[in-house]
């Protein structure tokens, strides 16, 4: 993977991390289009730059993350992240195998898009408008929705958790924000696990050049994600999910056609 390719993937990650379109799916598809092989460093890079994007949440919502007087906020995040950590640890090989299949991801993008076309009509009359009113039970159930995105790469962690929040009577805005908050411990754990695995199995990957690429990619993903979050919150409050649903359906169909006609090769 060249530095130009790394930058392109980082931009894709920054744009898509908080949109309900699957950042992982878009990175895998982008890598496939550019002919990048899924070697250990590429897999590590795609996880670590997600952490870079996620850190933009900490910057934008720093008052929330550093208000240590409200311990309940941290407890809710811990409760919500546990289901995904357990499932991720138990089914890592299954997940890694699915991540190597752009065709599977295209199918999940398509099916998830169909869901988004109708989701606005499913959850009406929300009653929870502030994070303080989210119970530990609400947080756990939202965390269980996050598990779906772990099991099915391409589904979108953002989409799964926002829908989970809306199912628990959160407003669209609060569901999106809690999804952002939950992404922080989730991606911290995923990045730490990926770094540890690489260090154990292929430590030579963590050379000076590759570390530089990780830093550059994370920084770019962080900056782009800052802009993406602000756009998404404003758009979602006014318009809902339909645009993202149509986008997913279209891109899913187009990608399947390109894969099966051999225009894009799976790698």
In a domain, residue 108? The reply is yes
Residue 245 domain-assigned (yes or no): yes
Question: Would 176 be classed as within a structural domain?
Answer: yes
pLDDT attached to residue 10: 93
In a domain, 267, yes or no: no
pLDDT digits (tens, 9 = 90+) for 203-257: 666 666 678 888 899 999 999 999 888 888 888 877 888 898 999 999 889 888 8
Residues 6+ apart with CB under 8 A from 216: 3, 6, 7, 10
Whether 85 maps to a domain, the answer reads yes
Which pLDDT score, from 0 to 100, does residue 221 have?
93
The reply to whether 266 falls in a domain is no
Q: Is 83 a member of any domain?
A: yes
Cα–Cα distance, 232 to 21 (Å, whole number): 12
Report the pLDDT value the prediction gives residue 138, as an integer from 0 to 100: 93
Tally of domains in the chain: 1
- How confident is the model at residue 246, as a pLDDT? 93
Residue 225: per-residue pLDDT: 92
Residues of the chain with pLDDT under 50: none
State the residue range of the domain holding 14. Answer: 3-260
From 41, 51, 25, 20, select the one nearest 187 (Cα to Cα). Answer: 51
Give the chain's radius of gyration (CA, Å): 18
Tell whether 265 is covered by a domain: no
């Amino acid at each position: 993977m060249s530095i130009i390719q790394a930058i392109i993937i980082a931009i894709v990650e920054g744009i898509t991390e908080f949109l309900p379109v699957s950042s992982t799916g878009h990175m895998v598809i982008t890598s496939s289009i550019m002919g990048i092989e899924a070697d250990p460093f590429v897999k590590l890079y795609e996880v670590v730059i997600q952490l870079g994007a996620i850190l933009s949440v900490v910057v934008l919502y720093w008052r929330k993350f550093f208000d240590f007087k409200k311990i309940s906020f941290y407890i809710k995040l811990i409760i919500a992240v546990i289901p995904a950590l357990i499932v991720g640890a138990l089914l890592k090989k299954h997940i890694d195998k699915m991540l190597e299949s752009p065709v599977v991801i295209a199918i999940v993008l398509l099916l998830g898009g169909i869901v988004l076309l109708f989701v606005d009509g499913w959850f009406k009359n929300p009653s929870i408008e502030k994070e303080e009113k989210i119970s530990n039970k609400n947080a756990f159930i939202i965390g269980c929705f996050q598990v779906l995105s772990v099991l099915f790469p391409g589904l979108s962690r953002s989409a799964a958790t926002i829908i989970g929040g809306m199912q628990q009577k959160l407003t669209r805005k609060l569901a999106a924000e809690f999804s952002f908050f939950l992404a922080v411990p989730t991606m911290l754990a995923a990045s730490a696990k990926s770094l540890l695995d690489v260090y154990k199995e292929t430590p030579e990957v963590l050379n000076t050049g590759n570390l530089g690429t990780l830093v550059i990619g994370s920084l770019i993903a962080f900056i782009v994600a800052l802009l993406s979050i602000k756009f998404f919150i404003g758009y979602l409050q006014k318009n809902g999910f339909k645009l993202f649903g149509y986008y997913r359906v279209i891109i899913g169909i187009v990608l399947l056609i390109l894969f099966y006609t051999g225009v894009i090769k799976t790698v």
